[in-house]
Structure 1
Amino acid sequence: MTDREPGLWAVTVDCADPALLATFWALALDYRPADPPSGFESWEQWFEHCEVPEQEWNDGAAIQDPSGVLPQVGFLKVPEGKTVKNRWHLDLKVSGGRAQPPRLRSERIEARAVELVAAGASELRRGSNRGHLDHIVMADPEGNEFCLV
């Protein structure tokens, strides 16, 4: 047994523009911007308190599950860009699963793809199963792959 609190982990994404990706992924995951640290009304107030230079204020961003149950997602500015395929990715389960009629699943996947493309994502490729759309491999605004299933 350890003295660590359960659930103290988050997913962190290296990126060029933390604010851009935080906005995109908040929409994609139905999250919201992370609350500032306790005792501060805004992140700007916290930055000023900690004497963070203003030019570093977009060096990181975070989003959180509105219910507070799912992990937080952080975005960290790094100098290098993405160069190869992701070794792991998120599957956004938007179709309702294989228990749903294939046509309904396809419609749900298509609708979410349209919404996320409008927010800056790009479609990479489609997969089908028995003639119906089964999934779409997409990329966020900085090229990180994810799937709509």
Structure 2
Amino acid sequence: MSVRFDLTLDCADAPRLAAFWKTALGYVDEPPPPPYATREEWLAQFDLSEDDGGGEWLCDPAGVGPRLSILEVPEPKTAKNRLHIDVRVPGHGTPGERWARITAEADRLVGAGGRVLETFDGHHVVMADPEGNEFCVAAGPADRA
């Protein structure tokens, strides 16, 4: 039996990082869990104060992908990620067409605040989000994005 999973990113500026990942993944703000009307109301049950750091919660509007929690922490990022996100573009077409889609997506994400770390011509682009978290842009299987 498989299980559902969420991903969590630690950060210094949750709203900034959430804006980037909403652009990158097409995600939206996740509503608070019922019966809570606001995220603040939900957090209050855990006796958290504003000093505990902020957070943003995102979800796939189609309900397919994992949820993404973006939580503010006091310490900076100090090493390479051991787990990273792969942003997939449609994999159909010729190798040149796939590579054009990969580089176009990388360019779009640079415009959203990401940066290119390394390019593996014809295969994938290693990037970093605005806080330095690594991720890749690559083609998915030919039958899906």
Whether the TM-score (by the shorter chain) exceeds 0.5 is: yes
Distance 1:20 1:91 in 2: 20
CA contact (8 A) 1:33 1:63 kept: yes
Count of aligned positions = 138
**2:105 paired with 1:112:** yes
CA contact (8 A) 1:14 1:77 kept: yes
Structure 1 ranges of 4+ moved more than 6 A: 48-51
Q: Which residue of 2 aligns with 1:16?
A: 12
TM-score for the superposition, normalised by structure 2: 0.81
Q: Percent identity?
A: 43
Q: Which residue of 1 aligns with 2:62?
A: 67
CA contact (8 A) 1:17 1:58 kept: no
Q: How much does 1:58 deviate?
A: 5.9
Distance 1:118 1:44 in 2: 31
TM-score for the superposition, normalised by structure 1: 0.79
In our comparison, the structure showing a higher alpha carbon Rg is 1
CA contact (8 A) 1:136 1:148 kept: yes
Q: Which residue of 2 aligns with 1:145?
A: 134
Q: RMSD value over aligned CA atoms?
A: 2.4
Distance 2:62 2:51 in 1: 29
Distance 1:10 1:103 in 2: 34
**2:70 paired with 1:81:** no
Gaps of 5+ in 1: none
**2:124 paired with 1:135:** yes
Distance 2:53 2:93 in 1: 42
Q: How much does 1:32 deviate?
A: 0.6
Please state whether the residue corresponding to 2:123 is helix, strand or coil: strand
